[in-house]
Chains A and B, each alone.
Chain A
């Protein structure tokens, strides 16, 4: 006999954990299955940006829903996930003045979606934030964005879900999923099976292995963004900072945590090995990241990094996730492939998926994320 519930969730990252919590809120029984430990993959290794600005305008309603959850996270989760609403700045460099126009245009549209951005000249920025380098031409400041601790977030959602009655099985790798009659039957590598009329796949970079079993392969590419962290220094940099540029190498970002360490990320992405659940930092990426960080904020050049790491993220060709119902199989839902920017929206994704599953509809626009966009023919 296999264990039965209303919903099976495969994948215990932030998406799966928050969906489990909100599904319990709708009164559905939930079984969450995770290969390893909760929140150890992308959700536990990411940079921790809780940033709305820069997301496609059509994603802002989802991002706004998420920010509301982040703000309530302490009460909701009964745990501190170190969420700080301390601002986010996106800057561009002198050699790309045309980006100032893009920033202005984006700010206009974002305002209509409830996200207020303030455009600042390079000098105004340097007055306020003296760490910026001379190459910074202008920036867009969002006072209501921020950051949180990825190591703590997904496990805190999972613990809260568990307290409300969700059943969580770690060390449970799902190798097969089928719909048999009215029920989905999923099987773990060790032979255990689980059964439910609804299946939600939140398997991150591994999502395609499951969607393919239902005739819906997606062209997902696993890659590993590279992170570094400095030794702690007195807490002085409130906002998270990132560069807007079409050149991958230049896309670096950083934030300081209250403990004092500065987390650095970006520049080129490395390879990752989903089969081994490991992503390795390529030394060259670290060197290139540090070089671009020095350009963005020369003052950081005095610090030492004490550790680097990477994590496995699934990227889709249009950089948008797969989110919503299956196009082939009723009762099947997807939320995976968040293409490097799923941390901020994560709790919003969980709440939205729970709403779709429990109520059959949501006001949040999810059409751009339909899996049907990858269907052949």
Chain B
């Protein structure tokens, strides 16, 4: 029999470790990534003309970043790596890719989706003004372009990334005015037992907060964001919020980086027709998989943050584990003992991730409390009030139904940025559990596809 055809989508930590396992088993996988270079999100490589050292770019994670990049560089001759190649669809045992000029249909025996995560955002009135960024966007600006998103920057939301990116800004010399965390401090205490699963990462997090305070950055917990102030012409000018039940406060700033931890990029799993289940801890719909990363569809595997947000270290372990599972399923010999130990590692990271979800909860109630005039879906300019009016008029209370009537989630980002908050708003308005609202169905293309895409290359 010819060598099995393995396709890996994503060249981040999960995809890199998966590719390495394939190569070690004597297989030459195809590795597809829409990015210009390998490394994925956290270990994103800087542009060729930049020469910042690893320690500066990746901080405490520098050794891991370097190790991963070196692994990938060592694999390059033994894998079929295609950069700047978007997987826009999956159907009938083929991955469909698009480069700037060409469409291709690639058959596979095993498909490993290592697609990573994007920011999870909770809308705030005024978030459409220029100057409002996602935490990820703010980090990319710094990492790949070495520029700050503004002169006076406020970080608002919750999750480990809030503190990480804020401190990266401080280190880069930017003026970080405040870090406004919606989570109460007590949540962290509650999460401590789970967080102790990975003490080194916990310690990194504590150190970040201390460093921020040392640098004189105002750090607040139990924040209730009220409004991003500004106007369409000049962009944003400040932020209005409350701490707990305290009085309203206003801070002047010209940029806000916002986010509430992450959400997995699950569209490809959806197009591959994997089954999904609701995860009550993160209040997200996640593709179902077994402990080794097998999805509900034979031959389709899920690893890394694209399956569930467990972090970069877990992504390395689950990438390798899932590749071993796939290789085993294809009849190749694999080390069962190593798989067991990788499963153990992933389990430990999963415990830590549960701790993070407890420490930095998604403030679902904020969606229900959005004022009518607040924009909910930025792509389509739909306000919270528009959605509520549609619900009143039509009785819609299912995610896709509400989208069909109101255009929420119908724009360019396909609901990546508003979908979760819209579901919470619908649940609050209809007074039903959010899982009953369902999830927005994924549709191709996963990212916008140019009409001039060439003919399929045979």
Also in contact, A44 and B404, with CB within 8 A (given A159-B394, A306-B411, A308-B444): yes
Complex CA gap A303/B451 in Å reads 6
Nearest chain B residue, comparing its CB with the CB of A303: B451
- Which residues of chain B are within 8 angstroms of A307 by Cβ–Cβ distance? 410, 414, 443-445
Contact among A280, A282, A306 for B448, CB-based, below 8 A: A306
**Which residues of chain B are within 8 angstroms of A155 by Cβ–Cβ distance?**
394, 405
Contact with B along A161-202 (1 / 0, CB 8 A): 000000000000000000000000000000000000000000
Which residues of chain A in 20-55 are interfacial with respect to chain B, using CB atoms and an 8 Å cutoff?
A: 37, 40, 44
With a cutoff of 8 Å between Cβ atoms, the chain A residues found around residue B105 in the complex are 283-284
B-contact bits for A45-84, CB 8 A (1 contact / 0 none): 0000000000000000000000000000000000100000
Complex Cα distance, B153 from A103, in Å, reads: 64
Contact indicator B103/A305 (Cβ below 8 Å)? no
A300-B451 CB under 8 A given contacts A159-B394, A307-B414? yes
CB atoms of B394 and A301 under 8 A apart: no
Q: Which of B92, B96, B445 contacts A305 (CB 8 A)?
A: B445
**A290 & B444 in contact (Cβ 8 Å cutoff):** no
Q: State in angstroms the CA–CA spacing of A362 and B450 once bound together.
A: 49
Report B-chain residues with C-beta under 8 Å of the C-beta of A37: 398, 401
Contacting pair B456 A305 (CB below 8 A): no
Q: A302 near B: Cβ within 8 Å?
A: yes
Is the pair B411, A151 in contact by a Cβ cutoff of 8 Å? no
In the assembled complex, B455 has its CB within 8 A of some CB on chain A: yes
**Interface contact A306-B412, CB-CB below 8 Å:** yes
A16, chain B: closest CB distance, angstroms: 17
**Contacting B89 at CB < 8 Å: which of A44, A283, A290, A302?**
A283
Inter-chain CA distance A294–B452, complex, in Å, is 7
A302 touches B91 (CB 8 A): no
Chain B residues within an 8 Å CB radius of A303: 450-451
- Name which residue of chain A comes closest to B94, CB basis: A283
Residue of A nearest to B91 (CB): A283
Q: How far is the CB of B213 from chain A (nearest CB, A)?
A: 43
- Residues of A in contact (CB 8 Å), total 32
Chain A 286-309 per-residue mask, 1 if CB under 8 angstroms from chain B, else 0: 110011011000001111111111
Residues of A with C-beta under 8 A to B380: 259
**B-facing residues in A251-285 (Cβ within 8 Å):** 259, 280-284
Q: Are B451 and A231 in contact (CB under 8 A)?
A: no
Task: Using known A-B contacts A37-B401, A231-B412, A306-B414, determine if residue A283 contacts B444 with beta carbons closer than 8 Å.
Answer: yes
CA distance A290 to B450 in the complex (A): 9
Interface flags, B62-104, vs A, CB<8A=1, else 0: 0000000000000000000000000011011010100000010
B404: nearest chain-A partner, CB-CB: A151
Question: Which residue of the partner chain, among A79, A230, A287, A300, contacts B453 with CB atoms under 8 Å?
Answer: A287
- In the bound complex, residues from chain A placing their C-beta under 8 Å from that of B456 are 284, 287
Complex: A284 Cα to B105 Cα, angstroms: 9
Q: Is B404 in contact with A230, judged by CB distance below 8 angstroms?
A: no
B288 → A minimal CB distance (Å): 18
* A232 to B404 CA separation, bound complex (whole angstroms): 16
For residue B449, which residues in chain A have a CB less than 8 angstroms away from its CB? 286, 304-305
Identify the interface centre among A79, A282, A286: most chain B CB within 10 Å of its CB.
A286
23 contacts between A and B (CB under 8 A): A79-B393, A151-B404, A152-B405, A155-B405, A230-B451, A259-B407, A281-B443, A281-B444, A282-B91, A283-B105, A284-B456, A286-B89, A287-B103, A287-B456, A290-B452, A300-B451, A304-B451, A305-B449, A306-B411, A306-B414, A306-B448, A307-B414, A308-B445
| Chain B interfacial positions (CB closer than 8 Å to A) | 88-89, 91-92, 94, 96, 103, 105, 380, 393-394, 398, 401, 404-405, 407, 410-412, 414, 443-445, 448-453, 455-456
Which 8 pairs between the two chains have the least Cβ-Cβ distance?
A304-B448, A301-B452, A151-B404, A283-B96, A283-B89, A307-B443, A290-B451, A301-B451
Q: Which residues of A does B touch, CB under 8 Å?
A: 37, 40, 44, 79, 151-152, 155, 159, 230-231, 259, 280-284, 286-287, 290-291, 293-294, 300-309
Given contacts A231-B448, A302-B450, 8 further A-B contacts (CB under 8 A): A152-B405, A281-B443, A283-B91, A286-B89, A290-B451, A302-B451, A305-B445, A307-B444
